[in-house]
Chains A and B, each alone.
Chain A
Amino acid sequence: MSDITKQSLSDLVENIKSKKLSSSEVTKAFVERSEKSKELNAYITEDYTNALNKAKKFDEKPNLDLKLPGIPMAVKDLFCTRDLKTTAGSKILNNFVPTYESTVTQNIWNEGAILMGKLNCDEFAMGSSNETSFFGNVQNPIDKNLVPGGSSGGSSSAVAAQLTPITIGTDTGGSIRQPASFTGTVGLKPTYGSCSRYGIVAFASSLDQAGPMAQNVKDCALLQEVISTYDEKDSTSIDFKRNEYSKELTKDIKGKKIGIPKEYRVDGMPKEIEDLWKKGIEYAKDCGAEIIDISLPHTNYALPTYYIVAPAEASSNLARYDGVKYGFRAEGENLIDMYEKTRSEGFGAEVQRRIMIGTYVLSSGYYDAYYLKAQKVRKLIKNDFDDAYKKVDAILTPSTPSSAFKIGEKTNDPVSMYLNDIFTVPVNLAGLPGISIPAGHDAKGYPLGLQIIGKAFDEQNILNIAYAMEEKINFKNNITDWWIK
């Protein structure tokens, strides 16, 4: 089979199970394509030799009952992988080799998948363009000069460019859904508590969630089924009955009530986004869904709330990087000097900015005015969704306020960069699941995504809606392999 890397995850699984393909053939194909695609800078760490050895071992004694039998996969470099360097895109973790494995990646290897390498991301997942990575920006396979989104930009680029059949990212304010939207791929941010946070480098603990990124909805459902487990090692992991999402996937969404929140029609939103949204509504109707206008009145306050809550938690989580037990150290005249130099030289500008914001809003005299205030507004935002879900089963919005922007276009203006997450951040604040599916192109031919937001723990429902709409949309990604010489 010549075009192995063009196959979907579901097809690859089927072909390995029916012995039409071996794990070695599949792994070799993705390794070769990854090697030819260095220009995209999607990988931080390559582990190809080990991957090929593991594939060979798998083929010697294949267990074909597994859900991901011998499937090669690269993952975001925010997941700790035992004995393989894990950097979180930061200089401060440049030489960190974890002694443990994240639960989410362990679940993936338990189902037979094989690690190919670690994918680039914004430093500590703080960014919307992958430009804050210590390891350089990543190119969007759609166009050389475009960002792939962020923070899971290496992941979105690698899936869109078919360097890995599927991958996992993390999403704190849109870091799975926004890059999926920018690259014409599918990305699911599960309900908070659905996937274990154990072994994921922490950014903002009350918002962080891992989730699948894929070429299509069915693949996404299959990976979600693998990674979502209750885990006693994460105190916020929730013990609920998880579906076999891929098996229970259906295009029958007749009678489902889908809400359209008027507050998402933001000032200055390009007409293309508005048009895409209207088209999305028509697609949903064609699938038999009932469209209902709803209101989420506090939408405009979500981003300011996020930019207090997330940096506050980050400043606390990142206090551990002190140059003593692991990671980068800058020498200093005394202990305090060493800490200050280590953190000043080890963290990039955006991370330092967020630590400073977080430290400020938590500092004596400002806590009530900022942090407590933000927690209260967060409650109002969650209440908006609770009220809406009395009337509807899911909510349909655009994924992002624009298509992918150019590398360097927004790096000097943090606030304009933050505005990218305007449609995704409320979902994290309320702890809900959201999926972005590719739904069309703008005038330049760049992909645009639609987001479907669900009730807590209702991943199956939004996957079903996405699955039904995907068929109607019939999206085709324009990728020309320009980076392969």
Chain B
Amino acid sequence: MSIDLKTIKHISKLSRISVDEKKAEKLAGDLNSIFDFIEKLNELKTDNVEPLTSVAETTLKLRSDEVKSKNLRDQVIKNSPKENEDYFVVPKVIE
């Protein structure tokens, strides 16, 4: 199996990580060697195996729906790279 540059471009778009030609080539090389290693799993027959989704054999507990945290609006907003009073600011999305 081989991951080509077109696939890298596609994954980069899905990942929202911009990738130039040079980086794409490096990534293709890295990913191919990693996937060669991963392909080992195909040696195993797993048709009748149940997938393991969580090792924590527990059922979710219910709790009452109460607000417990304080109003931290100002502190939360302060962590934003760009804010305007009570809002997060992003590039214009509607023309």
Contacts and interface: CB of A to CB of B under 8 A. Distances in A.
Interface of A: 95-97, 99-100, 192-193, 206, 232, 235-236, 238-239, 298, 300-301, 303-305, 307-308, 315, 319, 322-329, 331-341, 343-344, 347, 352-353, 355-357, 359-360, 363, 370, 372-380, 382, 414-415, 418, 429-431, 456
Contact of A99 (B15, B19, B51, B76): B76
Interface of B: 3, 7-8, 10-12, 14-19, 27, 30-31, 33-34, 37-44, 46, 49-56, 58, 60-61, 63, 69, 72, 75-76, 78-82, 88, 90-93
Describe B's contact surface by its main secondary structure: loop
A356 B81 contact: no
Contacts of A370: 38
Contacts of B10: 363
A359 B14 contact: yes
A353 B11 contact: no
Contacts of A430: 55
Contacts of A356: 8, 11-12, 15, 17, 27, 31
B16 A326 contact: no
Given A315-B15, A352-B17, A335 B81 contact: no
B54 A236 contact: yes
Contact of B34 (A97, A307, A331): A307
A239 B60 CA distance: 11
The 7 closest A-B pairs by CB, nearest first: A431-B55, A375-B51, A329-B81, A326-B79, A340-B18, A376-B46, A379-B52
A235 B38 CA distance: 30
Nearest to A336: B16
Given A324-B81, A344-B18, A352-B15, 15 more contacts: A95-B79, A96-B79, A99-B76, A304-B40, A324-B90, A340-B18, A360-B11, A363-B11, A375-B51, A376-B49, A377-B41, A378-B51, A382-B55, A414-B34, A430-B55
A83 to B, nearest CB: 9
A352 B82 CA distance: 24
Listed residue (B16, B37, B49) with the most chain A CB atoms within 10 angstroms of its CB: B16
Given A329-B81, A335-B91, A359-B11, A206 B54 contact: yes
B88 to A, nearest CB: 5
A330 B50 CA distance: 43
A99 B72 contact: yes
B14 to A, nearest CB: 5
Contact of A377 (B11, B44, B80, B81): B44
B83 to A, nearest CB: 9
Nearest to B75: A99
A375 B52 contact: yes
Nearest to A362: B14
Interface of A is mostly: helix
Contacts of B81: 323-324, 326-329
Contact of B60 (A235, A308, A357, A363): A235
Contact of A415 (B11, B33, B52, B93): B33
Contact of A307 (B38, B79, B82): B38
B29 to A, nearest CB: 10
Contact of B27 (A300, A308, A353): A353
Contacts of B58: 193, 236, 238-239
A341 B18 contact: yes
B50 A232 contact: no
Nearest to B20: A344
Contacts of B38: 304, 307-308, 370
Given A236-B58, A335-B93, A341-B18, A376 B79 contact: no
A326 B54 contact: no
A376 B60 contact: no
Given A301-B40, A327-B81, A356-B12, A376 B30 contact: no
Contacts of B54: 206, 236
Contacts of B37: 303-304, 307, 415, 418
Contacts of A232: 61, 63
15 contacts: A96-B79, A97-B75, A100-B69, A206-B53, A232-B63, A300-B40, A308-B38, A325-B80, A335-B90, A343-B18, A352-B15, A356-B12, A375-B51, A376-B46, A380-B44
A322 B31 contact: no
B46 to A, nearest CB: 4
B79 A301 contact: no
Nearest to A350: B30
Nearest to A315: B15
